[in-house]
Structure 1
Amino acid sequence: MILRHATSLAALAFATVLPPVISMALPTSAAMAAEATDADRKLQALYNAEWPWRMKEFARSADPDGGRAKASDHLPSVTAASQQKRYEYWTGILKQLDAIPVDQLSHEEKINAAVFRESIWAMAMNIRYKTYEAPFNSDTFFWGGLNPRTPYSNAEDYRLYLSRMKDVPRYFDENIVNMKAGIKRGYTVPRVSIEGRDKTIEAFVSPGTDNPFYDAFRNMPDTIPADQRQALQAEAQAAIRDSVAPAYAKLLAFMRTEYMPKARKTIDAYSLPDGKAFYQDQIKEYTTLDYTPQQIHEIGLKEVARIDADMKQTMKDAKWNGTFKEFLTFLRTDPQFYAKTPKELLSLSAYVVKKMDGKLKDTFNLLPRYRFTILPVPDAIAPIYTSGRGGLDSCLMNTYELPSRPLYSIPALTLHECNPGHSFQAAYALEAPDRPIFRGQTYFSGYGEGWGLYTEWLGKKMGIYESPYEEFGRQTFEMWRAVRLVIDTGMHSMGWTRQQAIDYMTEHTALAPLDIQNEVDRYIAWPGQALAYKLGEISIRNLRAEAEKELGDKFDQRPFHDTLLGMGSVPLTVMEAEMRAFIAREKAKHANAAD
């Protein structure tokens, strides 16, 4: 899963379409502007006006030189009034989009229009359902991610950070007001999926330098003069003592005494206000497809059956003579499959990254220059965090509870989250072709997570997996994503219980019990998001199969991958159309070369 601050029952409505990392593409080139149609110019005026408005609303400042946008000196407003203002603005944008004739747009602007519409619709839709009244889920929280994982490089960024620290009380108070409104109308995160999540607040209640907000001030760069460093550190200690710690203490008390006791006991999206329509729209947001829950459930059942057969064959390849259930028990309990230290797990992940580095030239023509690091998941959130998440600057691996982190799963996890998955994907986006700025900022889960899961399968073709156990780890990850199709739709639209979902995942995957419980709780609290992975991967693998069939021995995966990542995050329908156009161009090129 790519790093981001989105939630399903919705931290901030806008967060669902912002990627984990903000990358800025250059404006449309002069040549393209000269060829623009009237419809193109109307569309360009619309998204060029909306983008700076959106950045201001989200409290972000753009680099005038086209670099990455960054947080400004305050946190965004999340009041009901500010949300309503955004809703009215975005519904107005959608009406203006409807007035632009799509058939008169140039090819590139048709893609821009599709991306723009889908993202604006998602933001407006979340506000319409008031998802901001439940601003967190089982592993992603509005109170998390406000402190950086690494130090800033200059004094100005530290000053901006200090201003945001002082704004935490206002930001938290607005979220608490929203959460109280959600309680009143029966719209909360399900209680079962947030059990123990209050503990993620505890570390931030400290008024001293052991508060995680102070971490960025411990090793400030020497380029900042010593007297300035000392002054900034002193200001940070005051801000933590007077603003940050009291705000977190207030939030912790609210969570424990009011929110958690009153959180709903039901787990399904259908039980929410207008729940059936809400779940269907969540499916649309995350998958960018119009499938019904029943259709997705059936796809999941078919995939589970197919992968189950593959796993049983791999079990035979490992020369296991017992039952499948016994094999899963062996994998979950034998010490040979588990790291003894966090460094051992992190080292294996780093080895897989470097092994894949040696394969990149055979996988892509364009190799991005930006580099990421591998870090452990922070201690404050590790107990309830997923196994790993990747983003532009870093790829996180969870080293908490090592007996729950099988090493045979690390290769697939690393490919998905780090290289050539999300961290590589984010770096690739930095060097994408010139496009409107919003294209570099928009993230669709079906596309992004589909790519991540596809890279796990690609690792098999690239020789990354070194044993039947590692191949079984890949298969259990693929099964994990297939099972999600069954479980998510089962719980949210078909009356499945939490225990039923846990039992189904336990039966079909080799995931550790802790991972299984955390994952099921995530699906409960984040309806629809988990559906994107497998549906996106199915789409990409089907497109590759089409390309291989049409091009035969002329198929080259390097331009195929360059084209796929080069278009940036787009709805799956757009991705499929663009990749089929690529296949047609390649076929014509080779036919002409043969003449």
Structure 2
Amino acid sequence: MGLNSGWNLSRRRFVGGGAALALAPMLPAAAGAADSEDARLMALLQDIAARGDALEPLGLVDRGGVPNVEAFRRSFTSAQIDAYRGLNRWATQRMARIKRDRLTSERQISFDSMLADLRSQTDRLRPDIIALDAVRPFNHFGGFHVEFASTVSKGGELNYNTEADYRRNLDFIAAFPQVIANAIARFREGIASGVVESRMTVANMIAQIDALLAEPPGASPFTSAVRDFPASIPAERQAELAAQYNAVASDRIYPTYRKLRAFLADEYLPEAREAVGISAMKGGTTVYTLAIEQHTTLRLGAEAVHQLGLSEVARIQSEMDKVKTAIGFTGPLRAFFDYIRTSPRFHPKTRDELASGFAAVARAVDAQAPRFFNHMPRTRLEIRPYPAYREKYEAGGSYNQGSPDGRRPGVFFYNAYDLPSRFLTGITTLYLHEGAPGHHFQISLAQENESLPDFQRYGGNNAYVEGWALYAETLGFDMGLYKDPLQYWGTLDDEMLRAMRLVVDTGLHAKGWTREAAIAYMLGNSGMGQSDATAEVERYIAWPGQALGYKIGALTIQRLKRKAQAALGGRFDIRGFHDQILGSGALRLSILEAKIDRWIAAGGVAIS
């Protein structure tokens, strides 16, 4: 998605980096000078966050606040980019005035993280990068046109608790036509400059819009809030608000979607590129190089990542071969992949079977978690299927964060579309990743801790956030959740997915692979179904580099764990290790490693 969109999948603020928790209150500095410098830094970081909120359409919504309608109207505009650049310059100048050597160690981590984030953002805001990025404001994967419907629906990110909420949200929804007009103008700039999306992603966007338009306005996400009013709003006000919401949906939202669809089908699709890899796009090699660094927080070459992926695929396949034999299959591994895909025993027969499976794993994790974590989130975790209008184009599962005050729960969404392509074997590992102790623990614990600066509470980078979630899958071994060979197979299959991502993402975007070749590679090296493989590949096409963060991040955390175990011996405590990993936000991997090295040097004792 476009950097300047003001809208991204996780809706993290623009200026930010981490997303985790300082698991104990900040201790006062030992010296007055350090305390003073810590206070100066924290005040500056708070100021940066407040200025960032003023630029973000949903900067406060995830924390229970209200949407910024004026900022929303500026989405996809040059004015928005100019505002981001101004904030970036101002924040960089102010950070240069902080004396790092006078900060406590925890605040040095904050300082290093913010400075690294600002430098990365400076690169992404370069005019040459904006010219390649801004003209592609959204696509089919987590695109604004779909996410907007989820956000404004009842049960989404917006509050619908009072009459004031309803009226404020109505103004937000009514601004949608202006935002789409801004986006269409950006798409047209890309047509003029030759920087366009692939035909595949455009066709998928058109299909998504068709799915939204297939629902009548009165039954759509845009009017869901007026079909379920809180009792505190008087009946006459309910009738008034219902009429207003229905009018906006019928007279503004739906005509805007039809306008967007017509533009994409009649004007943009004929100009879209045939090749799916970003390297086939004008300036695409530059975009991909920057994407690798952005999503892994490391400077890695595409070829090195590709080779790492091939190595991991080979290693995991050797483990798969052992499990295949334990399950009782005597043929070759590729034949077992086909057996897994086609045998009914491995697939849910009903949606309820999926739901009950995830619920059972959730109960088991809840019982085991105190052995591995000193702290558990206060925020509840709910398990829900994707809504019908989204499920066809979604991955197997995802996580939507709750609010910091715990009033809105975190949600683990699972995909029940095309049940024959879903796997019972993957239930355990998917829940550990998307739910607990994966995304739900990391994001919720971060938001709930008020001692961290906001950018560490609410920010994130893929290598850490997704690396942690993939690492969380491995905890299922010590929790005893993979004793069943079928669930063990499931976690190997999911790990294989992350390894294949290294191969396929670089194959698509650096080696000229076709969509069909990428799908064939995934089907030939795993037991995943056709629908999952297709959705995964189309996701990588839409979001170059993002899929690399999972395996790079997880391998780093696993290596740091082995390093700590070897150095500390009997003093190693898994709960203390997790405190350290989760304790300072979603750090860049080099900063995380430096922190763990200090913890090891201190004998496995927390340092302030």
Q: Does residue 411 in structure 1 map to residue 428 in structure 2?
A: yes
- 1 CA distance for matches of 2:77 and 2:512? 34
Q: Does residue 166 in structure 1 map to residue 183 in structure 2?
A: no
Q: Does residue 311 in structure 1 map to residue 305 in structure 2?
A: no
Write the deviation string for residues 409-441 of structure 1: whole angstroms up to 9, x where unpaired: 121111100111112222211333602222212
128, 138, 152: which one pairs with 1:136?
Answer: 138
Q: Equivalent residue of 2:144, what SS?
A: coil
18, 36, 51: which one pairs with 1:53?
Answer: 51
Q: Which residue of 1 aligns with 2:92?
A: 94
CA positional deviation for 1:443: 0.8
Write the deviation string for residues 246-272 of structure 1: whole angstroms up to 9, x where unpaired: 111111111211222221122222233
Q: Which residue of 2 aligns with 1:187?
A: 195
Q: Does residue 508 in structure 1 map to residue 525 in structure 2?
A: yes
Q: Does residue 423 in structure 1 map to residue 428 in structure 2?
A: no
CA pair 148-574 structure 1, distance change in 2 beyond 3 A: farther
Write the deviation string for residues 82-132 of structure 1: whole angstroms up to 9, x where unpaired: 213322442453355456554454423322223223433444444432223
- 2 CA distance for matches of 1:495 and 1:100? 46
Q: Which residue of 2 aligns with 1:266?
A: 275
Work out whether residues 20 and 582 of structure 2, in 8 Å CA contact, stay in contact via their aligned partners in 1.
no
* Counterpart residue identity of residue 476, structure 1: D
CA pair 70-122 structure 1, distance change in 2 beyond 3 A: farther
- 2 CA distance for matches of 1:216 and 1:122? 39
- 2 CA distance for matches of 1:529 and 1:518? 14
CA pair 338-79 structure 1, distance change in 2 beyond 3 A: same
184, 198, 213: which one pairs with 1:176?
Answer: 184
Runs of 4+ in 1 over 6 A off after TM superposition: 20-26
Matches within 5 A, 1:523-562: 523-562=540-579
* Counterpart residue identity of residue 431, structure 1: E
Write the deviation string for residues 540-563 of structure 1: whole angstroms up to 9, x where unpaired: 111111122122233221121122
More displaced 10-residue stretch of structure 1: 121-130 or 373-382: 121-130
Work out whether residues 140 and 204 of structure 2, in 8 Å CA contact, stay in contact via their aligned partners in 1.
no
CA pair 85-19 structure 1, distance change in 2 beyond 3 A: closer
Q: Which residue of 1 aligns with 2:225?
A: 216
TM-score in terms of structure 1 length: 0.90
- 1 CA distance for matches of 2:376 and 2:222? 35
Q: Equivalent residue of 2:389, what SS?
A: coil
- 1 CA distance for matches of 2:221 and 2:441? 28
CA positional deviation for 1:24: 11
Work out whether residues 267 and 491 of structure 1, in 8 Å CA contact, stay in contact via their aligned partners in 2.
yes
Q: Does residue 148 in structure 1 map to residue 144 in structure 2?
A: no
Write the deviation string for residues 447-466 of structure 1: whole angstroms up to 9, x where unpaired: 11001101111112211125
243, 262, 268: which one pairs with 1:234?
Answer: 243
CA positional deviation for 1:230: 2.6
- 1 CA distance for matches of 2:258 and 2:413? 27
Q: Which residue of 2 aligns with 1:199?
A: 207
Q: Equivalent residue of 1:529, what SS?
A: coil
More displaced 10-residue stretch of structure 1: 256-265 or 357-366: 256-265
- 1 CA distance for matches of 2:598 and 2:200? 47
CA pair 282-440 structure 1, distance change in 2 beyond 3 A: same
Q: Which residue of 2 aligns with 1:12?
A: 5
Work out whether residues 433 and 566 of structure 1, in 8 Å CA contact, stay in contact via their aligned partners in 2.
no
Q: Which residue of 2 aligns with 1:72?
A: 68
Q: Which residue of 1 aligns with 2:405?
A: none
Write the deviation string for residues 288-316 of structure 1: whole angstroms up to 9, x where unpaired: 11111122112112111111111111111
TM-score in terms of structure 2 length: 0.88
CA positional deviation for 1:227: 3.0
- 2 CA distance for matches of 1:588 and 1:384? 46
Matches within 5 A, 1:356-367: 356-367=365-376
Matches within 5 A, 1:97-112: 97=95, 102-112=100-110
- 2 CA distance for matches of 1:581 and 1:253? 57
How many residues align? The count is 579
CA positional deviation for 1:220: 2.2
- 2 CA distance for matches of 1:70 and 1:371? 22
Work out whether residues 198 and 256 of structure 1, in 8 Å CA contact, stay in contact via their aligned partners in 2.
yes
- Structure 1: stretches of 5+ with no match in the other structure: 1-6, 590-595
Q: Which residue of 1 aligns with 2:385?
A: 376
Write the deviation string for residues 136-193 of structure 1: whole angstroms up to 9, x where unpaired: 2332111122223517333332222211111000111001111111122222222224
CA pair 108-13 structure 1, distance change in 2 beyond 3 A: same
Write the deviation string for residues 382-428 of structure 1: whole angstroms up to 9, x where unpaired: 11111100132211101111111111112111110011111222221
CA pair 277-43 structure 1, distance change in 2 beyond 3 A: farther
